[in-house]
Chains A and B, each alone.
Chain A
Amino acid sequence: MRKFILRKFFANDNNEAFVPDAKFKHPDVAPELTVDHFNLSIEGSPILKDVSVTIPANKITCIIGPSGCGKSTLLKSLNRLSDTIEGVKTTGDIRIGDTSIANCSMSDLVELRRRIGLVPQRPTPLPMSIYGNIAYGCKIHGVSSRRELRKIVRHYLKVVGLWDEVKDRLTSPATKLSIGQQQRLCLARSLAVEPEFILADEATSALDPVSSKIVEDLFVKLKEQYSIVMVTHTLRQALRIADYVIFIYMGEVIEVGDAQQVFKNPKNELTQKYLSGAIS
């Protein structure tokens, strides 16, 4: 029955312009993410040491560095998912625009997390249908009109180029999709609540080269409207798409700057070594 209703609704696709719900409107000036003397330790051992960086708006920022240097932890701190790590302690501040993320209350955090989307390393579709996955975020933020939800689902599936592949099976389980499709679904799910920032934790590392390319191209396309922060292991990927680079080594920020400058003329010796493959 539900399948039928969905199909009927989507049959008269008149390509009207999509306007996101008023709740999800972006601010007029895209905000920057500021990390201000941020320290993070897990059960006493320091993971991030005095990190201070500003992540620019509407650019792709790549966080690079060897394994275990704290890249993912920094990324998780940006939307306070680091809270779920056991024995975690933080000092310093992280702000989106003028609003503090690191020191806000639980109730403000819900809204802040909406403004900062996440694409995980391994695709994690929620245990629901394809439709349900995208509608979930909107539902918890109070979009209840079914008509509206259907519009949202259609729009964001189109944005990530998944619409034509799945339009006939929106009610089937999201886990039935291929890994690459699942990852795009996760991206669509994050986009559906209109975040200003998108965090991607090695979002392409679990994907095959073709899917990986599709996701990469999507990020490049999306940076017009969203600011993207990526953790990546693949230097070539960072070279291809980064506008801005943060190099972290042993929990400390070693070098920050425009991608061109960092890759072509690294100032710091450690950065040079990392780029030449001497440390990894």
Chain B
Amino acid sequence: MNKLVVKERFARLLMYLSITVVLILVASIIWTVFKRGFRSLSWEMVSSLPGGGFYIGKSGGFLNAIVGSLYIVLASTAIGLIISIPVVFFLNVYLKSKSKLAYVARLAFDVLFGIPSIVYGAFAFTLMIYLGLRTSLLGGIIVETLLIIPILIRSMDEVAKNFPRDLLDASFSLGATRWETMGVVMRQIAPGIATATLLSVGRSIGDAAGVMFTAGFSDTIPTSLSQQTATLPLSIFFQLSAPQAEVQNRAYAAAVVLTIIVLIISLLGRFITNRFSKHKLR
């Protein structure tokens, strides 16, 4: 057989194999979680707070963890976006592309990107001790914001770097200031913003290490920023490390809830991205 044909077939086989591996992985994770979780998942679990003895297998649910996680994710994503969009805009529109400052800043964000969340947790913990703060919802929000800012900036930056310069010229030539041009930039990189937001939501909702030191854990839904709060990943962690099989199964139920939340958010993200990218100049 022709050598080229063999090469071609081999390459194709490799591609099929790797895709199959990925698909099997996704399917088996979802299968395991859902198989063990659905059995013990009940309406009571997602709609009520932990009763006395919840962690040794008695009645109650983990609504507190669901709400706590959502509070932290929504707040940190909002704050993260408010901080990182101007940064991306500054890097790409105000600074020239060979600027030293831009180079150093991008390097710094890459370093921050690679730091594990437990280190952010430890850092925030030190900071909180220094400031005399206790573990609280606020602490959790701060540490998750720190965690996602590099993700937001770097993934939006990648999109913004390919921003067509002609578009800036078009806006400037109409007499727009750089600030007014931000509206144009935002519309053009809207799909990038949506992707970045999804990535960071995924990272912060699943993060256990960061919130362990900073948000603490509680059995109630926090009513103020200074109260401790439970989160889904920590709830899974505590229940999974219990000796009773009953409690361990509940951990899987919590994992199901977490997976469903992430799925809903990413589908919503897709929908919003499609809506916004219809105006994009290609």
| Contact present for B168 and A84 (CB under 8 Å) | yes
B223 at the interface (CB under 8 A from A): no
Q: Within the complex, which residue of A79, A111, A127 is in contact with B173, where a contact is CB–CB below 8 Å?
A: A79
- Residues of chain B within 8 A (CB-CB) of A40 are none
| Contact present for B165 and A137 (CB under 8 Å) | no
**Binary per-residue interface labels of chain A (189-201) against chain B in the complex, 1 for a CB within 8 Å, 0 otherwise:** 1100100000100
A106 to B94, CA, bound (A): 14
A79 to B172, CA, bound (A): 9
B35 at the interface (CB under 8 A from A): no
A186 at the interface (CB under 8 A from B): yes
Q: Is the interface of B mostly helix, strand, loop or mixed?
A: helix
Q: How near does chain A come to B281, taking the closest CB pair, in angstroms?
A: 5
Question: Which residues of chain B from 175 to 195 have any CB-CB distance to chain A below 8 Å in the complex?
Answer: 175-177, 180, 184, 187-188, 190
B167 at the interface (CB under 8 A from A): yes
| Contact present for A110 and B175 (CB under 8 Å) | yes
Chain B interface residue bracket vs A: 20 to 34
| Contact present for B167 and A81 (CB under 8 Å) | no
Q: Within the complex, which residue of B168, B175, B280, B281 is in contact with A113, where a contact is CB–CB below 8 Å?
A: B175
- Residues of chain B within 8 A (CB-CB) of A141 are 175
A118 to B170, CA, bound (A): 7
A81 and B169 in contact, given A111-B175, A189-B174, A190-B174 (Cβ under 8 angstroms): yes
Question: Which residues of chain A from 137 to 151 have any CB-CB distance to chain B below 8 Å in the complex?
Answer: 137, 140-141
A117 at the interface (CB under 8 A from B): yes
Q: How near does chain A come to B271, taking the closest CB pair, in angstroms?
A: 17
A127 and B280 in contact, given A81-B169, A84-B169, A86-B96 (Cβ under 8 angstroms): yes
- Residues of chain A within 8 A (CB-CB) of B184 are 126-127, 136
Pairs A–B under 8 Å by Cβ, sample size 6: A113-B173, A113-B174, A114-B175, A125-B281, A127-B281, A136-B171
Contacts A81-B169, A114-B174, A127-B188 aside, 6 further interface pairs with beta carbons under 8 A come to A84-B172, A120-B169, A124-B164, A126-B184, A173-B278, A189-B170
**Which 3 residue pairs are nearest across A and B when measured between Cβ atoms?**
A114-B175, A118-B173, A137-B174
